[in-house]
Structure 1
Amino acid sequence: MDELLERVRGGFERVEPRDAYDAVLAGDALLVDIRYAALRERDGLIPGALVIERNELEWRLDPQGSHRAPEATGHDLRVVVICNEGYASSLAAASLHQLGLSRATDMAGGFQAWRAAGLPVT
């Protein structure tokens, strides 16, 4: 699994929590939280993040898909995928690249790193 993560992460530049926060404030990124409901209930939410469970991610973010979220505005959308600790999100970002979302990435350390950095959580 480590080799797979290393390989997929080579296809994009991961972002640190503070950089993700700054990108959202600048209007340059959409945060997408793929954690499952129990983790969101236990640990909280990142204000403004779009919650899409992992099993629906591609359906909801494909800009040409019939089930896309309103936020899925185009293939140039910068998506920052967030999971709990930054592993599943790397695989999810790689999958989004396969859909043509070339600016998709993930956040190193996931939600836990976001919270540890003292960034907003509700």
Structure 2
Amino acid sequence: MTRTLKTSVAEMVEAARARIEEIETPDAIEMLGDPEVVIVDLRDIRERERMGYIPGSFHCPRGMAEFWVDPDSPYFKDIFAKDKKFVFHCASGWRSALTVATLNDMGFPAAHLKEGFGTWEKQGGPVVYPETDRTK
């Protein structure tokens, strides 16, 4: 049996992208090191370990984003109380588009890296690899 969805994930991402701020990779690379910008990595910890991560980025697992930005949540993280520009990213820009649309709906201003981490290194962005055995 094939299940027919009312809305596909691609349609959800397209709708989210139409109403959020998208940042191109070269522009995000220029933002790196700006003390007024926080880059937030939504990818799974295994993705960060395997592919590396943007130097100075803050890791926030996708499933915790709404809880970590809400000051009334028992899971709130102080980093999200700062008056900074928050730029979220995932691997390809789909998870971050959906996350940022939801956070904007909550009243938390944020943007996302349009093409995700997948284009970061290809376009000259620096990458840090964790101190793990990458041969496994």
Provide, for residues 98-118 of structure 1, a one-character-per-residue CA deviation record: whole Å limited to 9, x for no partner. Answer: 22113x111011111111112
CA distance in 1 between partners of 2:61 and 2:78 (Å): 16
Count of residues in correspondence between the two structures:
120
**Structure 1 position 2, deviation (Å):** 2.7
Q: CA RMSD in A?
A: 1.7
Alignment match of 1:11 (pick from 19, 24, 28):
19
State the TM-score, normalized to the length of structure 1: 0.86
Alignment match of 1:39 (pick from 41, 47, 52):
47
State the TM-score, normalized to the length of structure 2: 0.78
SS at match of 1:81: strand
Provide, for residues 56-80 of structure 1, a one-character-per-residue CA deviation record: whole Å limited to 9, x for no partner. Answer: 1111122454422221125x64211
1:111 and 2:133 equivalent?
A: no
For structure 1, list consecutive stretches of 5 or more residues without a partner in the other structure: none
Stretch of structure 1 that moved more, 58-67 or 109-118: 58-67
Provide, for residues 11-57 of structure 1, a one-character-per-residue CA deviation record: whole Å limited to 9, x for no partner. Answer: 12200122123234333321110110221111011111000100111
For structure 2, list consecutive stretches of 5 or more residues without a partner in the other structure: 1-8, 129-136
SS at match of 2:77: coil
Alignment match of 2:106 (pick from 94, 99, 112):
99
CA shift in 2, pair 1:21/1:68, >3 Å:
farther
Which position in structure 2 is the counterpart of 1:82?
89
SS at match of 2:23: coil
CA distance in 2 between partners of 1:27 and 1:63 (Å): 22
Please identify the structure whose Cα radius of gyration is greater: 2
The one-letter code of the counterpart of 2:114 is A
- Determine if contact 1:60/1:67 at 8 Å carries over to the other structure: yes
